[in-house]
Each structure stands twice: as C-alpha cells, then as structure tokens.
A and B are shown apart, each in its own frame.
Chain A
Amino acid sequence: MIKIINAEKSSHHSVIFPSFSMEVQTHEAAAIHSSLNVRTVLMDLLSGSASLSGGRIEVCGHSILSDLKNDNTHLSFLFLDEALYERLTLKEHILFWKKLFISSVNSDEILRRVQLEHLKKKRISTLTFSEKKRMHFARILLENKSVVILEEPDQNVDLETRRVIKKLMEGLKKEGKSILLLTGNMESALFMTDCIHRLDEKGLHQLDVKLEEDEPGEVKEETEETPLYQPVKIEKIPAKVNEKIILFNPPEIDFVESSDGQSNLSVQGEVYPCIFTLNDLEKRLVPFGFFRCHRSYIVNLQKVREIITWTRNSYSLVLEGSESISIPLSKSKMAELKEMLGLK
C-alpha cells in the first residue's frame, strides 16, 4: 500500500499542489487526474528524483526514498516515455528482465498474459506502439511488486491493448497489489479505476464515482421530468470563450463532459466551457437525441459509432470520425441505452 501524507510541492514561487493526503490500500486501484505538469512532478517525486516541499510519502510503512534505495523495493513504475532495447527479441528481453529483477515468474506465462506470445521471436523494433506498451506491462508483472505506479498506461494504445491492460489491472488488484494511476484523461481514469481524485493547485478533490450506483433512482426522477419539457425555448447552447458567447447548434456537439462541476462542450475536437450544469444541459439536449451515458457525460447518440464491451460491467462509446475519442458508459445506463436502441 502507498500512503501520501500532507504532501505538498511548490517550485519557482508557484504552488504545484497544496498539502493533500490519500492512500491506496492493497487490492485497490486509484487514479489521480491532473495536468501534465502536476503529473510529471508527481512521477519525479514517486521515483525519488525530486523531493517534496512538505509532508511525506510512505510505501508499506517506510518512507518512499528509503524504500527506493532498498534492493527489495516495493515499487514498480511505468513511465509514459519508457523505452525498450530495440535490437533484442521479445524472449531475450523478457529473459534479461527476469535475471535483472531476479524474478521467478515463468516468462512464457508472462508473454501469454500480455498477449505477445506469438511474437516472441520477433525483435522489439518490429512491434507497434501498443505492443510495446504491453511489453512494459510484462515488466510490471515480472517485477511483481506490491505497489504499481502507472503514468498514462493507455494513452494512444489500440482497443485490443486497452482491453488487455484493463484485464491485467484487474488481475493485479486480485493479487493484492495497490495501483496508483496518474493521468490527464478522465475517461482513462474512469475506465481503469473506481476511485478518482483530481489534483491541481487548489488541492485534491475526490470525485464521487460511487454515487453512480445510487443513480437508477435519480435517473427515474429525471426521465419523469423530461416529458415536462416545454416547446423549444432556445435551441442553441451557449458557451463562453474569452468573454465572447458562442452559440452551438445541438447536433454540432459531440459530447459534454463535466469536470469539477464545470461542463465542457466538445465540438469537433475543441472544448468549450458551458455555463449550464450537466443536469440542465441534459434536459435541454435529450430532445435532440442526446443521452446521459455517465454521471459526468452526455453524448450525442447520432455521433456514436461503436459500443465496446470491455468486461461484463464496463463499456465505452466510440465516436464517429475521431477514433481516439471514447466515452465511458456506465453499467446502469447500458440497459437504458439498449432499450432506446430497441435491442431489448
């Protein structure tokens, strides 16, 4: 387990994050959603190449710095910009790690778990970005440490790799590891973990993801309200950009995301902050074929191209045109969506 106690960091006269505390127990995965800057600083702090301005970080009861120096450290890391020895074959690379970490885990078993077994005679340089990412996960599995720190593990990877990573994370949790995920992508945080914190210069806020479970009741109320919707007042959705107000036609909007109570309209890859709350927007947008697919997302169903089922309880919606954009779909909403689509 990893414990962060009253940690704070400032540099060059500016606060990067004020004092906050959190902990990740065994069998738990938590995410810290933050800006790139905060994330980089956090990775430096966790890997011991920078030090806190105040507070401390403990790993399994010891300070993180003494743990890192220890031969039997409890930590293993996955950096975003990690590299492999391109000229080695996968098998050679795994064997190298195995010896380096004095690991007793079976190397073929590892390659099978990251679904690279069929490539084991190939050189690393022939792998795609996503396959290399899976290779890094092979290292995490080999290291077999009790605390795993991941930086943007599923950034830019293909769908298959995302599925593998998700599965591996479930496996690691089951084995009793604590996973801390650092990401700038809320969707990734929602997808990979169930405990999400947002960290910025104002501090740490835990996002209430658990509430999602109570939602069916709430949803019912809302769906009852929708018939009450009056004939179109204003069809356009206003967004504020630099003191200007821009009006969007609802069909233009791809999806709406809420973070920290602020709802953001996403239109053709650009994000515009909107004045209304997500609940208000839902009321306005439902008549235009929008759907509240998650506590913090409303999606334009016309733009949805694909519904991906990761596991029995986790789903994503992939939008048209932009392959990279996927939006979480919560379990309770899946049934509702199926009904709307006439699948049931």
Chain B
Amino acid sequence: MNHSIKRTMAIFQKDYKDFTKNLYVSSMVFLPLFMAAIYGRMGVQSIEMVFMIFNLTLTVIAAFTQSALIAEEKEKNTLRGLMLSPAGTGEILIGKSLVSFLISAIILLLSAVLIEYRPGNTLLIAAGLFVSILFYLGVGTLLGLITRSVMEASVAILPVLLFFSFSSFAMQLSAEYPILKAAEYLPNTQLVNLGHAVQSGAGFADGLPALLIITGWTIGISALVVVVYHKKMVDN
C-alpha cells in the first residue's frame, strides 16, 4: 500500500477510535436520527421537511463533528505533532475528514430510512448528498481551524447551523423581498431544489445545474480551507 494512503488511514483509524470514546461529540448523532424518527412517524412527507432534516444532519454531523475534531487537535496541541510528522497537508485533512464523512453518510442513510423518504432517482439524490457532505466538511474544517477550542467551535457552529438548516425557507419569502433571491444559490437551497426536481420526475440532466452549484461551493470552501490551514501553520 502506498505510504501516503497508509498515513491517511492511520489518522482515520486514530480518529475513529477517538470518536467512539468521545461522548460529547458522538452523542450528537442521535439528534437528527431522533427528529427523523418523529417526523417519519408523524407522516410528514413534504420535500421541505425531508430536506430540512437532511440539512440539519449535514450541519450537526458533518460540520459540527468535523469542527470539533479539528478544534480538539488544536486545543490539545496535538495538531503540531501531526504537522511535524511526515504526513502532508492533504493526508492530514483527508484523514481527519474521513470519520466525519462516513458518519454523516451513515446517519443520512438512516434518517432517510426513518423518515421513509424514497426518491425517484436515488442516484441523483445520493450524488447531491455526497457533494453536500464534502461542502459541510469544508465548513466544519474551516470553523475548527479558526476557533481555538472545542467549546468555541460548538458555539461558532450555532449560527452556521441555523443559517444552513433554515435559509432554504427564505425562498418562500422571496416574492415579497427580492433580495432573498440570492438565497437560491446557497448549497442547501440547491439541495432542496434537487429534491423537488427529483420528486417531479426529473432526469439526470435536470438535476445537473444544482449539482454543479453545490460542487462549486465545495471547491470554493476546500480552497479556503487549504489557504487558512497554511496560514495557521505559519502562525504557529
């Protein structure tokens, strides 16, 4: 096995073991599952509701877990050890994202099952969710890099959580306030749009613009993460 992959896997395994023993972070996974179960039992099937749960899962699990993992490395002063190790920037960032990625994917799947959401085009929705997870991991990493401790990260995540969970509702008000039209291009709104498109039986070509916009956001945030990471590395 390639050395680079070996190191990435080492960081992944370490984080996985660390995560399972970290109740503060790992207990968060039950929040979206709980909500999905309740809404599922209530028989709520509107696309907005389903995707609100998805967006909540993405912020709470992908973004929060990731920011907590990164912030903890900084708080406990273990990040420098990683940086001085032969592992490069990419290996550290990917290794540290793998755990949050896997957990997010599993929780999204479970939420979808619990809320009894059966999309017409599973592949398209899966692709949309995949790119979205990457975007939220980027947000989480960024927050983790900017904040200094897990405490700070968990406070900083709150506005992010509110913003990305509920800003898709802003669209409904956009007729009254044209400025809110801008919200249409947010990744979370695009994900909801993708859901609507799939629900109305759209094919891959119709979902493509939404996917591309989310991918654009993901690439943007990844670039930002790399820049901030290098800046912080020089600072320390």
Contact = CB atoms under 8 A, between A and B. Distances in A.
Q: Mostly helix, strand, loop or mixed at chain B's interface?
A: helix
Interface residues of A, number: 22
B155 to A, nearest CB: 22
Contacts of B84: 47, 68, 77
A21 to B, nearest CB: 25
Interface string B1-17: 00100110111011001
Contacts of A87: 17-18, 21-22
Contacts of B21: 87-88
A96 B78 CA distance: 13
Given A71-B3, A72-B86, A73-B86, A99 B13 contact: yes
A102 B236 CA distance: 26
Interface in B1-48: 3, 6-7, 9-11, 13-14, 17-18, 21-22
Q: Mostly helix, strand, loop or mixed at chain A's interface?
A: loop
A85 B18 contact: yes
A88 B17 contact: yes
Contact of A81 (B13, B22, B77): B77
Contacts of A85: 14, 18, 76, 78
B42 to A, nearest CB: 38
A84 interface: yes
B234 interface: yes
A102 B86 contact: yes
Contacts of B9: 99
A249 to B, nearest CB: 46
Interface string A44-55: 000101000000
Interface of B: 3, 6-7, 9-11, 13-14, 17-18, 21-22, 76-78, 80-82, 84-87, 234, 236
Interface of A: 47, 49, 68, 71-73, 77, 79, 81-88, 92, 96, 99-102
